[in-house]
A = this chain, B = another copy of it.
Amino acid sequence: MSRISIVFHSGFGHTKVVADHVKVGAESVPGTQAQLVPVEAIDAHWADLEAADAIVFGSPTYMGNVSGPFKTFMDASSKPWLEQKWKDKLAAGFTISGSPSGDKLNTLQSLMIFAMQHGMVWVGNAEMPYNEEGINRLGSFTGLMAQAGQVAPEVEPNAADRKSAERLGQRIAAATARWARVS
């Protein structure tokens, strides 16, 4: 059984939609148990993160970077970091903002650097962008980028972005199963 924790912050519900679909994708891989951890509830879940085989990090892009609440979680993780409790776990990431690009790459790079400090191994968004379904339509590889304007989370992120999130979930779950086979 692979355990995947999806730690995320969602200010207005759009990032939560992406997190939901990453979970759906991860659980479509047999033998995978995925769990959503909103950063507001992190204090009840540090042990879950320590027990996880992989952690997926998700934050909206606010002012070109992870959100304040997500950064506060990152800072609080300096305790498990000191003992390298997450070392050799797999990691992946996603973000969302109003523009197609919108400096989202800086958020993903920040998530990746954070995972590297924790000694984790990074699994990206390995989907070629030009396809009929719009998978990875924004063209991002370090992690998943989604887009949502000033509309309700039911409307955006759109179907292509939701499908892309499921693919990321599948990929991290498949990689976790492969990586775990230590025997």
Contact = CB atoms under 8 A, between A and B. Distances in A.
Nearest to A174: B88
A31 interface: no
B117 A106 contact: no
Interface residues of A, number: 60
B72 A114 contact: no
Contacts of A75: 62-63, 67-68
Identical copies in the complex: 4
Given A97-B139, A139-B97, A179-B179, A124 B114 contact: no
Interface in A101-132: 101-106, 109-110, 112-117, 119-126, 128-130
Contacts of A101: 100-101, 104-105, 138-140, 145
Contacts of A115: 124
B142 A116 contact: yes
